[in-house]
Chain A
Amino acid sequence: EPEVTQTPSHQVTQMGQEVILRCVPISNHLYFYWYRQILGQKVEFLVSFYNNEISEKSEIFDDQFSVERPDGSNFTLKIRSTKLEDSAMYFCASGPGTASYEQYFGPGTRLTVT
Protein backbone atom coordinates (compact mmCIF):
# COMPACT_ATOMS: atom_id res chain seq x y z
CA GLU A 1 0.00 0.00 0.00
CA PRO A 2 1.43 3.40 -0.96
CA GLU A 3 2.51 5.61 1.93
CA VAL A 4 4.00 9.00 2.65
CA THR A 5 7.66 8.86 3.66
CA GLN A 6 9.73 11.44 5.50
CA THR A 7 13.44 11.89 6.08
CA PRO A 8 15.21 12.16 8.40
CA SER A 9 13.26 10.58 11.23
CA HIS A 10 15.15 12.70 13.76
CA GLN A 11 17.18 15.86 13.21
CA VAL A 12 19.19 17.70 15.82
CA THR A 13 20.37 21.18 14.95
CA GLN A 14 21.77 24.24 16.66
CA MET A 15 19.79 27.41 17.06
CA GLY A 16 20.23 29.68 14.04
CA GLN A 17 21.00 26.85 11.61
CA GLU A 18 18.96 26.06 8.53
CA VAL A 19 17.20 22.72 8.24
CA ILE A 20 15.41 21.03 5.38
CA LEU A 21 12.83 18.37 6.08
CA ARG A 22 12.01 16.06 3.23
CA CYS A 23 8.85 14.25 2.27
CA VAL A 24 7.84 11.95 -0.55
CA PRO A 25 4.04 12.11 -0.90
CA ILE A 26 1.94 9.34 -2.38
CA SER A 27 2.60 9.40 -6.11
CA ASN A 28 -0.79 10.30 -7.59
CA HIS A 29 -1.75 12.81 -4.90
CA LEU A 30 -2.30 16.46 -5.75
CA TYR A 31 -2.46 18.20 -2.37
CA PHE A 32 0.46 18.45 0.04
CA TYR A 33 0.62 19.69 3.59
CA TRP A 34 2.96 20.32 6.50
CA TYR A 35 1.84 20.18 10.11
CA ARG A 36 3.75 20.34 13.37
CA GLN A 37 3.13 18.99 16.83
CA ILE A 38 4.97 20.31 19.85
CA LEU A 39 5.37 17.51 22.41
CA GLY A 40 2.16 17.03 24.40
CA GLN A 41 0.15 19.44 22.28
CA LYS A 42 -2.25 19.20 19.39
CA VAL A 43 -1.32 19.02 15.73
CA GLU A 44 -1.10 22.46 14.09
CA PHE A 45 -1.41 23.30 10.41
CA LEU A 46 1.52 25.06 8.78
CA VAL A 47 0.95 25.18 5.02
CA SER A 48 -0.88 23.57 2.13
CA PHE A 49 0.43 23.31 -1.41
CA TYR A 50 -1.46 22.65 -4.63
CA ASN A 51 -0.67 23.14 -8.29
CA ASN A 52 2.90 24.20 -7.47
CA GLU A 53 1.93 27.02 -5.17
CA ILE A 54 0.94 27.64 -1.58
CA SER A 55 -2.84 27.49 -1.24
CA GLU A 56 -3.02 28.41 2.42
CA LYS A 57 -0.63 29.09 5.30
CA SER A 58 -1.10 29.61 9.00
CA GLU A 59 0.19 32.43 11.17
CA ILE A 60 2.96 30.07 12.30
CA PHE A 61 4.32 29.90 8.74
CA ASP A 62 6.28 33.14 8.74
CA ASP A 63 9.22 34.25 6.62
CA GLN A 64 11.50 31.72 8.31
CA PHE A 65 9.61 28.90 6.61
CA SER A 66 9.42 27.96 2.96
CA VAL A 67 8.20 24.96 0.98
CA GLU A 68 9.24 23.59 -2.34
CA ARG A 69 8.42 20.77 -4.68
CA PRO A 70 11.72 20.61 -6.56
CA ASP A 71 10.83 17.62 -8.71
CA GLY A 72 7.88 15.36 -9.32
CA SER A 73 8.26 13.41 -6.11
CA ASN A 74 9.78 15.41 -3.23
CA PHE A 75 8.13 18.04 -1.06
CA THR A 76 10.38 19.94 1.32
CA LEU A 77 10.00 22.26 4.28
CA LYS A 78 12.88 24.64 4.99
CA ILE A 79 13.38 26.53 8.21
CA ARG A 80 15.98 29.23 7.58
CA SER A 81 17.15 30.12 11.08
CA THR A 82 15.88 27.69 13.67
CA LYS A 83 14.73 28.77 17.12
CA LEU A 84 14.38 26.70 20.28
CA GLU A 85 10.60 26.90 19.92
CA ASP A 86 10.80 25.19 16.51
CA SER A 87 11.51 21.92 18.32
CA ALA A 88 8.57 19.69 17.42
CA MET A 89 7.44 16.74 15.34
CA TYR A 90 6.86 17.81 11.75
CA PHE A 91 4.37 15.82 9.71
CA CYS A 92 3.98 15.82 5.97
CA ALA A 93 0.63 14.77 4.54
CA SER A 94 -0.78 14.31 1.07
CA GLY A 95 -4.23 13.94 -0.36
CA PRO A 96 -5.64 12.80 -3.69
CA GLY A 97 -7.85 15.87 -4.07
CA THR A 98 -10.87 15.72 -6.33
CA ALA A 99 -11.35 11.98 -6.22
CA SER A 100 -11.12 11.79 -2.45
CA TYR A 101 -10.59 14.23 0.38
CA GLU A 102 -8.59 12.32 3.00
CA GLN A 103 -5.13 13.36 4.08
CA TYR A 104 -2.54 10.66 4.67
CA PHE A 105 0.28 11.40 7.06
CA GLY A 106 3.92 10.43 6.99
CA PRO A 107 5.66 9.10 10.10
CA GLY A 108 7.04 12.52 11.00
CA THR A 109 10.44 14.11 11.53
CA ARG A 110 11.37 14.94 15.09
CA LEU A 111 13.27 18.22 15.08
CA THR A 112 15.30 19.12 18.14
CA VAL A 113 16.84 22.60 18.28
CA THR A 114 19.58 23.05 20.89
Chain B
Amino acid sequence: AQTVTQSQPEMSVQEAETVTLSCTYDTSESNYYLFWYKQPPSRQMILVIRQEAYKQQNATENRFSVNFQKAAKSFSLKISDSQLGDTAMYFCAFMKHDLTRLTFGEGTQLTVNP
Protein backbone atom coordinates (compact mmCIF):
# COMPACT_ATOMS: atom_id res chain seq x y z
CA ALA B 1 0.00 0.00 0.00
CA GLN B 2 1.06 3.53 -0.69
CA THR B 3 1.57 6.12 2.06
CA VAL B 4 2.06 9.88 1.84
CA THR B 5 3.63 11.89 4.64
CA GLN B 6 3.57 15.64 5.16
CA SER B 7 5.69 16.40 8.18
CA GLN B 8 4.77 20.08 8.53
CA PRO B 9 1.25 20.48 9.97
CA GLU B 10 1.48 24.28 9.81
CA MET B 11 3.65 26.85 8.08
CA SER B 12 3.57 30.58 7.67
CA VAL B 13 5.22 32.98 5.25
CA GLN B 14 5.27 36.71 4.63
CA GLU B 15 3.54 38.03 1.57
CA ALA B 16 5.85 38.12 -1.50
CA GLU B 17 8.30 35.63 0.02
CA THR B 18 8.97 32.03 -1.00
CA VAL B 19 7.91 28.95 0.94
CA THR B 20 8.52 25.23 0.44
CA LEU B 21 6.14 22.51 1.62
CA SER B 22 7.53 19.01 2.09
CA CYS B 23 6.07 15.67 1.08
CA THR B 24 7.48 12.16 1.08
CA TYR B 25 5.80 8.99 -0.09
CA ASP B 26 6.36 5.28 -0.01
CA THR B 27 5.58 2.96 -2.89
CA SER B 28 6.92 -0.06 -4.71
CA GLU B 29 5.46 1.17 -7.99
CA SER B 30 7.76 2.50 -10.70
CA ASN B 31 5.15 4.40 -12.67
CA TYR B 32 2.83 6.78 -10.86
CA TYR B 33 1.62 10.37 -10.55
CA LEU B 34 2.01 12.97 -7.84
CA PHE B 35 -0.14 15.99 -7.11
CA TRP B 36 -0.53 18.99 -4.88
CA TYR B 37 -4.07 20.09 -4.07
CA LYS B 38 -5.08 23.31 -2.35
CA GLN B 39 -8.07 23.45 0.01
CA PRO B 40 -9.11 26.99 1.01
CA PRO B 41 -11.65 27.61 3.80
CA SER B 42 -14.46 26.91 1.32
CA ARG B 43 -13.15 23.29 1.40
CA GLN B 44 -13.10 23.06 -2.40
CA MET B 45 -10.24 20.82 -3.58
CA ILE B 46 -8.24 22.67 -6.23
CA LEU B 47 -5.52 21.00 -8.29
CA VAL B 48 -2.35 23.07 -8.07
CA ILE B 49 0.27 21.02 -9.91
CA ARG B 50 0.98 17.51 -11.12
CA GLN B 51 4.05 15.41 -11.93
CA GLU B 52 4.51 12.17 -13.82
CA ALA B 53 7.07 9.88 -12.18
CA TYR B 54 8.66 8.99 -15.52
CA LYS B 55 9.51 12.64 -16.20
CA GLN B 56 12.75 13.90 -14.72
CA GLN B 57 11.89 17.53 -15.38
CA ASN B 58 10.20 19.24 -12.47
CA ALA B 59 6.70 20.59 -13.14
CA THR B 60 6.01 24.32 -13.00
CA GLU B 61 2.73 26.23 -12.99
CA ASN B 62 3.24 29.98 -12.76
CA ARG B 63 4.35 30.70 -9.15
CA PHE B 64 4.17 27.02 -8.18
CA SER B 65 6.93 24.52 -8.83
CA VAL B 66 7.94 21.14 -7.49
CA ASN B 67 11.19 19.46 -6.58
CA PHE B 68 10.69 15.81 -7.48
CA GLN B 69 13.37 13.43 -6.22
CA LYS B 70 12.29 9.94 -7.31
CA ALA B 71 15.09 8.02 -5.59
CA ALA B 72 14.43 9.80 -2.32
CA LYS B 73 10.63 9.55 -2.84
CA SER B 74 10.30 13.23 -2.14
CA PHE B 75 7.93 15.72 -3.77
CA SER B 76 8.10 19.25 -2.35
CA LEU B 77 6.08 22.26 -3.45
CA LYS B 78 7.64 25.71 -3.78
CA ILE B 79 5.41 28.76 -3.84
CA SER B 80 7.15 31.91 -5.02
CA ASP B 81 5.94 35.48 -4.45
CA SER B 82 3.37 34.25 -1.91
CA GLN B 83 0.00 35.97 -2.00
CA LEU B 84 -2.72 36.29 0.65
CA GLY B 85 -4.94 34.10 -1.50
CA ASP B 86 -2.46 31.24 -1.14
CA THR B 87 -3.59 30.81 2.47
CA ALA B 88 -5.06 27.31 2.52
CA MET B 89 -4.52 23.70 3.47
CA TYR B 90 -2.22 21.98 0.99
CA PHE B 91 -2.44 18.24 0.39
CA CYS B 92 0.15 16.10 -1.35
CA ALA B 93 -1.34 13.10 -3.16
CA PHE B 94 -0.17 9.95 -4.93
CA MET B 95 -1.86 7.91 -7.63
CA LYS B 96 -0.76 4.66 -9.27
CA HIS B 97 -0.67 4.42 -13.03
CA ASP B 98 -3.98 2.50 -13.03
CA LEU B 99 -5.85 5.73 -12.06
CA THR B 100 -7.84 3.96 -9.37
CA ARG B 101 -7.35 6.15 -6.33
CA LEU B 102 -5.63 9.20 -4.87
CA THR B 103 -3.83 8.67 -1.57
CA PHE B 104 -3.52 11.91 0.36
CA GLY B 105 -1.14 13.14 3.02
CA GLU B 106 -2.30 14.74 6.26
CA GLY B 107 -1.98 18.24 4.87
CA THR B 108 -0.04 21.42 5.65
CA GLN B 109 -1.91 24.53 6.72
CA LEU B 110 -0.18 27.48 5.06
CA THR B 111 -0.82 31.01 6.26
CA VAL B 112 0.41 33.97 4.24
CA ASN B 113 0.82 37.04 6.43
CA PRO B 114 0.55 40.61 5.10
Q: Tell whether, in the assembled complex, residue A105 and residue B100 are in contact, meaning their CB atoms are under 8 Å apart.
A: no
Q: Is the interface of A mostly helix, strand, loop or mixed?
A: strand
Total count of chain A residues near the partner, CB < 8 A: 26
Contact A44-B100, Cβ < 8 Å, known A91-B45, A102-B47, A105-B45: no
A44 to B44, CA, bound (A): 15
Binary interface encoding of chain B residues 24-36 relative to chain A, with 1 for a CB under 8 A from any of its CBs, else 0: 0000000001010
In addition to A102-B50, A105-B47, A108-B43, 6 A-B residue pairs with Cβ atoms within 8 Å of each other are: A35-B102, A43-B45, A45-B101, A101-B50, A101-B99, A107-B43
* Min CB gap A109→B, angstroms: 11
Which of chain B's residues 34-80 have a Cβ closer than 8 Å to chain A?
35, 37, 42-47, 50, 52
A102 to B93, CA, bound (A): 11
Interface positions of B (Cβ within 8 A of A): 33, 35, 37, 42-47, 50, 52, 91, 93, 95, 98-107
Indicate whether A97 reaches chain B with its CB closer than 8 angstroms.
yes
Q: Tell whether, in the assembled complex, residue A42 and residue B104 are in contact, meaning their CB atoms are under 8 Å apart.
A: yes
